Structure 1
Amino acid sequence: MGLDALGGLLGSPVSIFTLMLLASLLIPPIFERLRLPGLVGLLAAGVLLGPSGLQLLDPKAETVVLLSDIGKIYLMFVAGLEIDLKEFRKTRNRSLSFGGATFLIPLLFGIAIGRLFGFEWISAVLIGSLLASHTLLGYPIVQRLGVAQAEAVTVTVGATIFTDIAALLVLAICVSISAGEFSWLRLAVQMAALVVYAVIVLFGFRWAGRRYFRQTGDDQGSQFLFTLLAVFLAAVGAQVIQIEGIIGAFLAGLAVNDVLGKGAVKEKVEFVGGVLFIPFFFIDMGLLLNLPAFVSTLSRHLALVSAVVLGLLASKLLAVLVVRLRYGYRWSEAMVMWSLSMPQVAATLAAALVGRQAGLLTDAVFNTVIVLMLVTSVLGPLLTQRFAKRLTVPDINQSNRPVEPWEPPYPAAPPARQDFAVLVPVYNPTTEARLIEVGALLARQAGGKLAAIAIAQAHLNPTEAELTNAIALSRQRLQQANTISHSLGITAEPILRIDSDVGLGISRAAREHDTQLIVMGYGETASLQARLFGSVIAHVFTTAHCPVAIIRLQVQPQQIRQILVPIRDLAPSSLRLIQFARYLATALGAAMTLVHVCPAHTTEPAKARFRQRLYDQLQDAAASPDRYKVVPHGDIAQVILRVASQYDLVVLRATRRMASPGLTVSDMTTEVLRRFDGSVVLFGEPEG
């Protein structure tokens, strides 16, 4: 094969797609091992494959441009989708105050820097808008540390809505002005069109999404396609009114946020973007990075680079200090707000690329933005890791209202009833016996009943033979469950259900039979297949009306004598976890040890107050532990892994997490499951 033929092969769309997939798969893990964000690895991959490296990819190739544009739009959509609107509503006023400060102060700093270095007003304003937004790279860290509900965190998350929207609006105005002759009338018409467009996207897409999701029911494939259509339709609509598509994508993310909730469709949308399209955008950023020019920028334009980086750090810190003086936040809270609002990735890079393509930003500014991203994406999470350990989370003891008892489970569940029903799905013969035994013990403890369910999975238009075989297999499993339950002195009500979706079938049967608890076996949920198509556990967890106990036992239930329950705060969810653990311990005849993981700097009087509040609450709920330990530490996962070897079973709360594209940090429960091979129970609650 000649060089021309080889060049033609490497320039084909399939070869380009293959190379970018290969880079997305291989490079980020190498950088994560070096404790650098994976997105830095994607940039490095772009440099390596681009004109400054091996010259295997051309940033001007149509395929590269297409994939990059899709990734850019998807990145901004996920940024809007990941904003927790519920948390924003809780701290709306303070979030808007901080959002205004952390937008306006960096904007003014950026304008001043731009003018100081001789840029025109429109370019200076655009530079200011680049500094005004932020990306919540450190959010997975505060989730892992168990302080995501701290006010400093929720206020910063809420402020993201304001900063990102405002920064994108400034970008739209600047690009619009640069595209034609400026006039106040033209600007007014443009703003009016933008307002009308935003209303259509935010309210029209939300209304259409809710109607479509109700009509399609469980058809996740159609719902996934509808979500993708909403994203790119919003992007095309933005271009129709002559604004950037990333603005429409961000608004579309906000619009379908409530529609998707935290279900399986949202997971699929984020997964496809996080592993496929978004990495392509960062690779393209690396392709556009001219390495000699980048080095030249660092040497010849060192003053500009220093001014932008230091200006960003100083202006974000000043915004935090202003809000701290107004609301009286502690230094640790202020530092967490600063570290969370520091990283400049999603909106900043997308806007910088648009500004460069529009001719508003020079190569020196574009390279400076890359430096800014590298510095803040590393420094921000490091500071978050350090200062978030000192945060405290408000608990329900600030009011004297006792928590609702575990039985009946939750206000959202059906009214109290005499019979306590436990539902056990049977599927895996190797774990079925232990699940039935635990379910039987829990049901017998409450004087209730046990039900075993087998799902005969029937896809669309199954043949008679396929359906007959599925039913026969399910009946065989139910017969085995019946034999096991009889040996334990309890009768298991058999339930045979035909359903196309196993998870939804279990949830529907639980509702139909007035179940108070579902007991399931733990399966692999992090595999590629599970993440693409959704695991049964995830489906049950997101659709069930009652609590779900996900069990992984390495010993027989009768061998469990010591149960460990780690908590960090006294939020209602933590107390309900303790109540369940107490109930489980009583059913198994085991002792329960409660481990309170408090911040490392917690004083002895504070520990004593927490202990007294804990005893008051648990005494009312009849869930007092047999033993109580206090461990000052900033990382709950490390404490669990260190202490768990002394216990037969660890009870953890199953939670959902928000992950930022390009930087995935496991939450506490995920990290423990990955590193701990002992017996575990995950207690999941219905989505509220």
Structure 2
Amino acid sequence: MLLIASPAHQEPIVPFVILLTVILVIPLLFERIRLPGLVGLLAAGVALGSDGFQVLNQESESMRLLSDIGLVYLMFVAGLEVDIGQFNQTRDRSMGFGTFTFLVPLVTGIGVGRLFGFDWNAATLIGSLLASHTLLAYPIVSRLGVVGNEAVTVTIGGTIFTDIGALLVLAICIGINAGDFSPLKLVILLGSLAVYTVVILVGVDRVGQEFFKRSGNDEGNQFLFVLLALFLASVGAQLIGVEKIVGAFLSGLAVNRVVGDSPVKEKIVFVGSVLFIPIFFVNMGLLIRIPAFIKNFTSPQLFGLTAAIVLGLIGSKFVAAFFAKLAYRYTWQEALTMWSLSLPQVAATLAATLVGYRVGMLTEGVLNSVIVLMLVTSILGPILTTRFADGLRTQNLPPEVLDLTAESGLAAIDPSRIIVPISNPDTERYLLEMAALIAHQQSGQIVPFAIAVHHGQLDTPQLQAAIKRSETLLDNAVNICKELNAEVEAVLRIDDKIAQGISRSSREQNASLIVMGWQRRSRFQERLFGSVIDSVLWASHCPVAVTQLLKSPSDMQQILVPVENLTQRSFAALQLAQTIATENQGRLIILHICDRKTSASKQAWIHSQLLLLSEKNHPAYESEVQVVPSDDVVKAILSAAHSSDLVVLRSSRRSSSAGGLLVGDITFQVAQQVPCSVVMLGEPERIARAVLANPNL
């Protein structure tokens, strides 16, 4: 084994540098060989720990601090990612399913614990580990367009009940394990916990609403407020004798409504996902001792424990979904989807396991068994969800859903007044040409828009120079619009922030569409620096077309529009592509990527519905429908894009995380790699929420 003996190795900053390197490199390498990045972090922890190169010591103060921050951040993000709105839609049934999928695994886990010789307290803690679940497969049901299905919504809402229930059981078990525990102390603990929960959920929410209202657009102070709420809640939980992860989860629920889907939430999740939460998983790897882990598979007793925990979880979650099927008269397809969604055990399970292991309630064998459980369920759950949820699309889509009617008002693009933010003279013309194409059919008006960015006094030479530059851009824009025979009205604004200036002016000008440019960057750069587009997408009242145009829009003859699912949320991008194809007398290709296991009859049904939709709405232009079976959606779209002039994508404004680690976004990956021009159409928040709230859309 390699032991670093340099004096520099004793410095706390050295382990941090090593951790940063691991977090940056290892997940990427594992994803290239089609293994989850989480597995890579655990493996790195094993390799760098006491049974490997002995580079990191999980007992060091710096490592324990960073790991603890990752632990509470993991549970905080789990609470933050819970969709309170969806829970409220089906509150009663969500609580019903939550009860089923909490109690059945809890009883099963207690039985497994008792069977393998654990006392009642430790057995109950093992049961609580199985009772929660992590919505690892949420991006899959979102991509398939079945989030509005009641069974899916109920499963998502049930997460609140299971996670809170599991953490309450953990708190009681840890309290009992501390010794000198009586019924009176149990009552005091539960009473303190009840008061504490109300204080956090109500107090933090109200204070947060007031603080965000008063702080305006100061995202820095808002971010610091959220962090303060997280760690104050964690410390408060410890003061009443409860584990800090309980406080972290409750604080996540408390600030959920405050931050919404704002850029502040994106930054909160980003910081945790790229730094603290990965460190937690590396630390979990440091706890794994290779001989003991191997013994879990070679020792009949430990192998039996591992098998019992894994099979007990899978079986009990199935029974819970079956109970929900009987109680709420769901179909088998819906019940199996609920089962697969509730299988993955990552966030709450790992956090509670670490707590139980640290206080000596859980053995190393249980720790290793839970690691195996996480690996199995985090792989099996998404695979099963892909298979079962796919069937919900045809099951829940009546023929009228495929009719893009003007009355629906949910997916239509209104080209009557299009704002075009102008900042770069090199891209100005193509942006205005694209806006003119869209506006032409209904004789819409183009509003070239420039911002003179300035902070402080309004009589400085710097502001005067910024105004002059903006006026030059607008004069040129007006001349281009006149060449294009488009009605034009230029607007100049002085503002201290670009994104807010665009959003506010689009509202003041009653814009129906925003067309803006985009530069391709890496995912890291996009998340860290690409806040202008993120902020506009979040705050705008109308659709936003984010474009990168490599040629004149008037020369675009082959238009490709990938359609993920047959729901109204796909139709705005389809309508935009239809408009461009019609104006250029070009050819539209509607591309749908389905699973390789999709039957030929189902592929034919999807093809016929998309063709019918295309012919009904725009019978004048030439169109083609392609249904392509593929396991790699990004690769299939990029392959079709090589013969296209423009790809039109729908950009989802919802970020998702799996156990706190960011999930790759198909739209982003395609936009980064596509060899031709691209338009990403983002929906305003009110429309996105309206579509999700209506199961028939």
Q: How high is the TM-score relative to the length of structure 1?
A: 0.90
Supply the distance in 1 between the matched residues of 2:549 and 2:532 (Cα, whole angstroms).
19
Residue by residue over 1:237-261, the C-alpha shift from the partner in whole angstroms, topping out at 9 and shown as x without a partner, is: 1111110111111111111112211
1:241 and 1:623 map into 2 onto residues whose CA distance is: 68
Q: Provide closer, same or farther for how the CA distance between residues 604 and 611 of structure 1 changes in structure 2, counting only shifts above 3 A.
A: same
The residue identity in structure 2 corresponding to 1:11 is: Q
**AA aligned opposite 2:16:** F
Q: Which moved more, 1:643-652 or 1:348-357?
A: 643-652
Equivalences for residues 267-286 of structure 1 within 5 A: 267-286=266-285
Alpha-carbon deviations, 1:108-159, whole Å to 9, x = none? 1110111111111000000000111111222223334444444443332222
Higher mean alpha-carbon deviation, 507-516 vs 652-661, is at 652-661
Q: Give the distance between the partners of 1:642 and 1:327, measured in 2 at CA.
A: 44
Q: Give CA-to-partner distance per residue, 1:41-63, whole Å, 9 cap, x none.
A: 11122222222222222211111
Per-residue deviation, residues 246-286 of structure 1 (Å, max 9, x unmatched):
11111111111122111211110000000011011111111
State how 1:511-550 maps to structure 2 within 5 Å: 511-524=507-520, 526-550=522-546
Residue 39 of structure 1 aligns with which residue?
38
Q: Distance in 2 between matches of 1:548 and 1:15?
A: 45
Aligned residues: 680
C-alpha distance 664-410 of structure 1, shift in aligned 2 (>3 A): closer
CA distance in 2, matches of 1:646, 1:18: 45
Residue 522 of structure 1 contacts residue 552 of structure 1 at CA under 8 Å; is this kept in 2? yes
Distance in 1 (alpha carbons) for counterparts of 2:409 and 2:348 = 46
| Post-superposition offset of 1:593 | 4.5
* Structure 1: gaps (5+ residues): none
Q: What amino acid does structure 2 have at the position aligned with 1:430?
A: D
CA distance in 2 between counterparts of 1:408 and 1:114 reads 55
AA at the equivalent of 1:101: F
Q: Deviations over 1:522-568 (max 9, x none)?
A: 32364434312443211111111111112222332221234333334
Aligned residue type for 1:366: L
Q: Separation in 2 of the partners of 1:284 and 1:143?
A: 31
- The aligned residue for residue 364 of structure 1 is 365
Cα contact 1:393–1:569 (8 A) shared by 2: no
Q: Which amino acid aligns with 1:264?
A: P
Q: Which residue of 1 aligns with 2:65?
A: 66
The change in CA–CA distance for 1:624 and 1:222 in structure 2 (over 3 A counts) is: farther
Percent of aligned pairs sharing the same letter: 48
Aligned equivalents of 1:33 and 1:611: distance in 2?
Answer: 36
CA contact (8 A) 2:401 2:567 kept: no
2: CA distance between counterparts of 1:390 and 1:632? 17
| 2:677 matches 1:679 | yes
Shift of residue 98 of structure 1?
A: 2.4
**Alignment map for 1:211-250 (pairs within 5 Å):** 211-250=210-249
- Tell me if the contact between 1:456 and 1:499 (Cα under 8 Å) persists in the aligned partners: yes
Secondary structure, counterpart of 2:393 in structure 1:
coil
Q: Report the Cα offset of residue 508 of structure 1.
A: 0.8
Q: Matches of residues 302-321 of structure 1 in structure 2 within 5 Å?
A: 302-321=303-322
Q: Structure 1 residues 103 and 195 mapped into 2: Cα distance closer, same or farther (>3 Å)?
A: same
Map 1:290-369 → 2, pairs under 5 A: 290-300=289-299, 301-369=302-370
Residue 594 of structure 1 contacts residue 625 of structure 1 at CA under 8 Å; is this kept in 2?
no
Residue 661 to residue 371, structure 1, CA distance change in 2 (3 Å): closer
Amino acid at match of 2:541: H
- 1:98 aligns to what? 97
Please give the secondary structure, in 1, of the residue aligned with 2:55.
coil
Aligned-pair distance for 1:69?
Answer: 0.6
- The aligned residue for residue 666 of structure 1 is 664
Farther off after superposition, 52-61 or 235-244: 52-61
**Structure 1 residue 16: Cα displacement:** 2.1
Cα distance change, pair 150–552 in 1 and its aligned pair in 2 (3 A): farther
Q: Distance in 1 between matches of 2:594 and 2:613?
A: 18
Q: For the Cα contact (< 8 Å) 1:426–1:453, is it kept in 2?
A: yes
Partner of 1:655: 652
Q: RMSD of aligned C-alpha atoms?
A: 3.2
Deviations along 1:377-405, one digit per CA (max 9) or x if unpaired, are: 23323333444443316767577897663
CA shift in 2, pair 1:155/1:642, >3 Å: farther
CA deviations over 1:38-91 (Å, ceiling 9, x no partner): 111111222222222222222111111111110000000001111122222333
Shift in CA distance, 90/588, structure 1 to aligned 2, threshold 3 Å: farther
Contact 2:507 2:541 in 1 (8 A): yes
**Which residue of 1 is the match for residue 691 of structure 2?**
none
Contact 1:582 1:624 (8 Å CA) reproduced = no
User: 1 CA distance for matches of 2:376 and 2:298?
Assistant: 17
CA distance in 2, matches of 1:463, 1:371: 66
Q: Does 2:80 align with 1:84?
A: no
AA aligned opposite 1:573: R
For the structure 1 residues 31 and 180, does the alpha-carbon distance in structure 2 shift closer, same or farther, using more than 3 Å as the test?
Answer: same
Quick one: distance in 1 between partners of 2:565 and 2:376? 33
Whichever residue aligns with residue 511 of structure 1, its letter is R
1:499 matched residue in structure 2: 495
Shift of 1:518: 0.7
CA gap 1:637/1:89 in 2 versus in 1, 3 angstroms: farther
Amino acid at match of 1:29: L
Q: Aligned partners of 2:10 and 2:103: how far apart in 1?
A: 45
Counterparts of 1:390 and 1:588 in 2: how far apart (Å)?
Answer: 37
Q: 1:62 to 1:500 in 2, by over 3 A?
A: same
Q: Does 1:433 align with 2:434?
A: no
The 1:327–1:421 alpha-carbon spacing in structure 2 relative to 1, beyond 3 Å, is same
Give per-residue Cα distances to partners, 1:327-349, cap 9 Å, x unaligned: 44444444433332222211111
Cα contact 1:144–1:666 (8 A) shared by 2: no
SS in 1 for 2:250: helix
Please state how far the C-alpha of 1:33 moved relative to its aligned partner: 1.9
Partner amino acid for 1:512?
Answer: E
Change (3 A) 1:143 1:623: farther
Structure 2: how far apart are the matches of 1:652 and 1:633?
Answer: 19
The CA deviation string for residues 281-300 of structure 1, in whole angstroms up to 9 with x for no partner, is 11111122222232233333
Structure 2 residue matching 1:234: 3-state secondary structure: helix
Q: Does 1:485 align with 2:486?
A: no
Determine if the alignment matches structure 1 residue 140 to structure 2 residue 136: no
